[in-house]
């Protein structure tokens, strides 16, 4: 039953279903985003006040206003750095998806291949990327190629591992049903196992997309090209060497926001793809 509203002329009015739904959505958004927004405002405000009261030098600990000013003054260079890192990270993510899912399908198609190869994938993941980065630079040269390879290597294992877990977790009754209908291994893989593994693939992508940003920045530290086309890693290195701490904070926050943006995009894609049939996203969309 809709709420009744009394006007000055005592004529009862009823709220429309659209208005009630909008109010419900606003209340839900307020519950979801209100507390984090309030905590953010309190943190930034406290940071600004404490720095002003203590008179902290900007090169030691800049105020939020100093960071905003530095980002504004260097907006052109900052945008070029962010764009370069986006390109490198996206290319790394694409390689991680293609090769990670591809290798997982290969391993899942044969237990013998999985037992033979998967341990070496784990060993490769345990090697620190900074230890093999110089070798990558020697093989692929400094610049974009080496950075993309480094971003790919960091994001590859989550895609491989999660996809393989998903492919191996297919319900046995469904696999038996496909077997009874004389489905070929390829038909079982592409019509049953891969669709069933989609939630796991998306979960791996959520991890891989943020790690690719980290990989791109680490790659820029080691193999980045300077000048006007350097990414965030190069910009952070230059800002640190010149004690431009406010701009250093601006670059670091930009990298963080970039990772958050990638995660939110993947999360939105996950909701769009899974909300109609998978319980995890159905529960989150209803809540």
Domain contains 198: yes
Residue 172 belongs to a domain: yes
Residues 200 and 242 in one domain: yes
Contact between residue 77 and residue 235 where contact means Cβ atoms under 8 Å apart: yes
Residue with tokens 């052109």: 76
Same domain (yes/no): 228, 87: yes
Nearest to 155 by CA among 89, 212, 105: 212
The Cα–Cα gap between 262 and 92 comes to 13
Answer with the one of 12, 31, 54 that is the final residue of a domain.
54
> Domain check: are 131 and 265 in the same one?
yes
267 and 154 within one domain: yes
Query: Measured between alpha carbons, how far is 38 from 34 in angstroms, rounded to an integer?
Result: 6
Report if residue 107 sits inside a domain. Answer: yes
User: Which pLDDT score, from 0 to 100, does residue 89 have?
Assistant: 94
Q: Which residues contact 220 (CB under 8 A, 6 or more apart)?
A: 85, 88, 147, 230, 231, 232, 233, 234, 237
Report the distance separating Cα 19 and Cα 67, nearest Å. 41
* CA dihedral for 218, 222, 225, 227, sign (positive or negative): positive
pLDDT of residue 125: 81
Same domain, 100 and 227: yes
Residue 183: inside a domain, yes or no? yes
Residue with tokens 């904070």: 249
Per residue of the chain (287 residues), give pLDDT as tens: 444 444 444 555 455 565 676 777 777 777 777 788 888 889 999 998 999 898 888 888 999 999 999 999 999 899 999 999 999 999 999 999 999 999 999 999 988 888 888 888 888 888 888 888 888 888 888 888 899 999 999 999 999 999 999 998 888 888 888 889 888 889 999 999 999 899 999 999 999 999 999 989 988 888 766 555 788 988 998 898 888 999 999 999 999 999 999 999 998 988 888 877 666 656 544 44
- Asked if residue 98 is part of any domain, the answer here is yes
Tell me, yes or no, whether 262 and 209 share the same domain: yes
Question: Please, what sign has the CA dihedral across residues 214, 137, 133, 103?
Answer: positive
For residue 3, the model assigns a pLDDT of: 45
Give φ, ψ of 12 to 5 degrees.
-70, 135
Question: Which residue do the tokens 């390689």 mark?
Answer: 95
Are 121 and 41 within one domain? no
Structure confidence by residue, pLDDT tens digits, 126-161: 888 888 888 888 888 888 889 999 999 999 999 999
Give the per-residue pLDDT at 38: 86
Domain that holds residue 14: 4-54
CA distance 263 to 140: 29
User: Are 243 and 109 in a shared domain?
Assistant: yes
Count the domains in the chain: 2
Residues in the chain, how many?
287
| Residue 8 confidence (pLDDT) | 47
**Residue pointed to by tokens 């009823």:** 14
Rounded CA separation 120/105 (Å): 16
Is 251 part of a structural domain of the chain? Answer: yes
**CATH number of residue 276's parent domain:** 1.10.3720.10
Token digits for 116? 């033979």
Examine the domain organization and report whether 246 and 178 are in the same domain. Answer: yes
The pTM score is: 0.81
230 domain residue, yes or no: yes
Structure-token match 């431009």, residue found = 244
> Are 42 and 113 members of one domain?
no
The pLDDT of residue 286 is 47
- Considering the domain architecture, whether residues 124 and 233 belong to the same structural domain is answered as yes
Please tell me whether residues 21 and 135 are part of one structural domain. no
pLDDT at residue 21, rounded to an integer: 66
Does residue 59 form part of some domain? no
């Amino acid at each position: 039953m809709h709420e009744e509203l009394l006007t000055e002329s005592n004529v009862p009015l009823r709220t429309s279903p659209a208005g009630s739904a909008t109010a419900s959505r606003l209340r839900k958004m307020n519950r979801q985003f209100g507390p984090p927004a309030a905590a953010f405002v309190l943190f930034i405000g406290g940071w600004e006040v404490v720095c002003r009261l203590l008179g902290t030098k900007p090169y030691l600990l800049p105020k939020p206003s100093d960071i905003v000013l530095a980002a504004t003054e260097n907006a052109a260079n900052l945008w070029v750095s962010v764009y370069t890192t986006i390109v490198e990270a996206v290319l790394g993510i694409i390689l991680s998806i293609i090769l990670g899912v591809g290798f997982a399908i290969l391993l899942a198609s044969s237990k013998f291949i999985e037992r033979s190869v998967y341990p070496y994938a784990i060993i490769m993941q345990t090697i620190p990327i900074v230890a093999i980065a110089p070798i990558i630079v020697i093989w692929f040269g400094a610049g974009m190629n080496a950075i993309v390879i480094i971003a790919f290597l960091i994001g590859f294992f989550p895609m491989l591992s999660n996809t393989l877990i998903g492919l191996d977790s297919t319900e046995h009754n469904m696999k038996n049903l496909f077997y009874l209908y004389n489905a070929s291994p390829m038909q079982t893989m592409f019509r049953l196992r891969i669709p069933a593994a989609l939630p796991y693939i998306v979960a791996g992508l959520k991890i891989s997309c943020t790690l690719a940003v980290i990989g791109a920045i680490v790659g820029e530290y080691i193999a980045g090209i300077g000048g006007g086309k350097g990414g965030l890693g190069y910009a952070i290195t230059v800002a640190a060497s010149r004690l431009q701490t406010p701009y250093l904070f601006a670059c670091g926050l930009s990298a963080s926001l970039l990772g958050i943006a990638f995660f939110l995009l993947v999360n939105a894609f996950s909701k769009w793809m899974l909300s109609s049939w998978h319980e995890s996203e159905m529960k989150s969309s209803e809540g």
